[in-house]
A = this chain, B = another copy of it.
C-alpha cells in the first residue's frame, strides 16, 4: 500500500472528492493528485478517467472548475487528476517560467540535467499513478480512459499513442498536437529532452501517429476563437498526420469558443 496522505475530502454529487499527496518514486518527491469517487464506487469497482491539465494548473483546476463530477456520478466513472509537474524539487530555475518547470512538466520523462532527477511526468502518469489508484481505490485497472486540456491534451494523446492497449479512450480539449513545431513545445522539449530532435518524436502526437500503431478513434474539440490555435495548438498538422495513416480522428471545431475554463458545449456537433 502506498503511503497516501488524504489532504481533504468533500462529498459531491453523492460521491466524494479527495485530494491526496504521496512520495513519488518516478518524480523523486511529493506529488499530488485529486480523485473523484462516484457514488457507484461505494458498491463496486468503477472505470477510471484520467484528466491531464494544462500549463500553470494543479491537480485542483479541473476538479474545482469543470463540473465533471456531475457526469462522473451519472456514468459511474472515477476521475483522477494529477498535478502538472513536480513542485519544490529544488532544481534551480524551476519557478522562473510559467511555461516551463513548475506547472509545466509537459508529461515527458526529462533526460537532461538538472531536470531528469524529478521531471518524469510521463512515467508518473502512465505507470506510477495508475498503480497507486488501483491499489488504493475501487477502480477497474483494465478500464482506463485519458483526456486533457492544452498541454494536458498533448499529454493524453502521447500517453495513449505510445500505449495503444492501455486506455479505452483518448480525447482532448484544445491540445498541443504538434509540440515539435510550436514555441511552447520547442522550449520544453529542448530543455527537458536536449537538442536532438529525434528524441522529441517520442512526445509529439503528430509524429507518433505516423507510426501507425494506434488504431482506436481519437476525439478532439477545438474552439475557433482560441488565441493559441494558430501558433501553439496546430490541429491541422495532427489531422494531416492522421489522414496519412488512415487514423480515425473526430476533430470538432467549436465556433466561437476560446482556450478558457468556460469552454463547454451544450450539443455535440
**Interface positions of A (Cβ within 8 A of B):** 10-14, 17, 39, 64-67, 69-70, 73-74, 223, 225, 256-258, 260-267
Contacts and interface: CB of A to CB of B under 8 A. Distances in A.
Most chain B C-beta atoms within 10 Å of own C-beta, residue among A11, A13, A65, A225 = A11
A255 to B, nearest CB: 8
Interface residue SS majority, chain A: loop
Contact of A69 (B69, B256, B264): B264
A141 B69 CA distance: 34
A266 to B, nearest CB: 5
27 contacts: A10-B260, A10-B262, A10-B263, A11-B223, A11-B225, A11-B256, A11-B258, A11-B263, A12-B262, A12-B263, A13-B266, A14-B265, A14-B267, A17-B262, A39-B266, A64-B64, A64-B65, A64-B261, A65-B65, A66-B67, A67-B67, A67-B70, A69-B262, A69-B264, A70-B266, A73-B266, A74-B266
Contact of A12 (B13, B73, B264): B264
Identical copies of this chain, number? 2
Given A14-B266, A14-B267, 8 more contacts: A10-B257, A10-B260, A11-B223, A12-B264, A13-B265, A17-B262, A64-B262, A65-B65
Which are the 7 A-B pairs with shortest beta-carbon distances? Answer: A67-B67, A12-B262, A10-B262, A10-B260, A11-B256, A17-B262, A11-B257
B65 A262 contact: no
